[in-house]
């Protein structure tokens, strides 16, 4: 949860211009959506999981392999 709050805070303050998120679960969907609304680019690195959660794919600007 702390990581999600940090993502939202940094996005709202514009201290970042992109996020590289190494995750595979849906806990980060809300901060990803918020960051994109704030104009932050969101890169997703799915940690080698065969199946990426649909919501993660939808809210990432780029998926890294």
Domain ranges of the chain: 2-63
pLDDT string in tens for the chain (65-residue length): 899 999 999 999 999 999 999 988 888 999 999 999 999 999 999 876 667 888 888 999 999 98
Question: What 3 state SS string does the chain have?
Answer: CHHHHHHHHHHHHCCCCEEEEECCCHHHHHHHHHHHHCCCEEEEECCCCCCCCHHHHHCCCEECC
CA terminus-to-terminus distance, the chain: 25
pLDDT the model gives residue 61:
96
């Amino acid at each position: 949860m702390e990581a999600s709050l940090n993502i939202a805070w940094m996005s709202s303050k514009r201290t970042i211009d992109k996020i590289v998120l190494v995750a595979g679960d849906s806990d980060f969907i809300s901060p990803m959506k918020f960051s994109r609304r704030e104009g932050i680019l969101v890169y997703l690195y799915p940690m080698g999981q065969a199946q990426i959660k649909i919501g993660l794919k939808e809210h990432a600007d780029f998926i890294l392999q």
